[in-house]
């Protein structure tokens, strides 16, 4: 994997904050020629650093005012069980993100629902109905803060 330099990191930072920047705007912000900027963005895509662009959405504006993290333990724990449960979660409209993790829990699932009654129904109808789920617990998200944009490890001191 080719090393990233400061310009690549700066490009990534700007695109993570606003992926709608035009190439010309991005080049101006970074201080390079538009043609150079375009080549660098293409290289970041071809190396798999940039994997796509998306719109950030406010769940509350979509009628999903309550967000929670659901921690689940599965048994028997095998690749097939994990893959099957992951595929099941991916098709549920309440699910925002799915993480397969180490430690006491096997999955952390980020969900967004209209209210506490919908969260309870989701847990009872979607989680407890699954045979492989031996236990689960949930934590309501009170507040979410945007995190720092990712750049190369060279930027970590």
Q: What is the model's pLDDT at position 144?
A: 87
Q: Are residues 68 and 45 in the same domain?
A: no
Helical (H) or strand (E) element with 127: none
Residue 152's pLDDT is what?
65
Q: Please indicate, yes or no, whether the overall pTM of this predicted structure exceeds 0.85.
A: no
Let me know whether 39 and 69 are in one domain: no
Let me know whether 66 and 129 are in one domain: yes
pLDDT in tens, the chain (157 residues): 668 899 999 999 999 999 999 999 999 999 999 999 999 999 999 999 999 998 888 999 999 999 999 999 999 999 999 999 999 999 999 999 999 999 999 999 999 999 999 999 999 999 999 999 999 999 999 998 876 677 665 555 5
* DSSP state letters, 134-157: EEEEEEEE----PPPPP--GGG--
Q: Is 79 exposed, middle or buried (0-12, 13-18, 19+ CB in 10 A)?
A: exposed
Closest CA to 21 of 7, 47, 3, 41: 41
Residue 149 lies inside a defined structural domain of this protein:
no
What pLDDT sits at residue 1?
60
Residues 38 and 68 in one domain: no
C-alpha span between 59 and 68 (Å, rounded): 12
2: DSSP letter = P
> Based on the domain organization, do 65 and 133 belong to the same domain?
yes
Task: Quote the number of domains for the chain.
Answer: 2
Amino acid 57: pLDDT = 87
R_g (Cα) of the chain, nearest Å? 20
106 shares a domain with 136 = yes
């Amino acid at each position: 994997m080719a090393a990233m330099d400061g310009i690549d990191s700066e490009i990534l930072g700007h695109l993570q904050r606003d992926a709608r920047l035009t190439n010309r705007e991005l080049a101006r912000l970074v201080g390079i020629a538009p043609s150079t900027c375009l080549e660098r963005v293409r290289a970041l895509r071809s190396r798999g650093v940039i994997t796509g662009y998306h719109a950030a959405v406010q769940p509350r504006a979509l009628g999903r005012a309550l967000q929670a993290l659901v921690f689940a333990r599965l048994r028997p724990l095998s690749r097939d069980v994990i893959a099957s449960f992951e595929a099941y979660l991916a098709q549920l409209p309440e699910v925002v993100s799915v993480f397969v993790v180490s430690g006491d829990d096997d999955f952390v699932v980020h969900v967004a629902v209209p209210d506490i009654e919908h969260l309870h129904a989701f847990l009872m109808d979607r989680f407890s109905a699954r045979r492989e789920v031996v236990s689960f617990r949930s934590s309501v998200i009170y507040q979410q803060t945007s995190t720092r944009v990712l750049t190369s490890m060279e930027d970590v001191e």
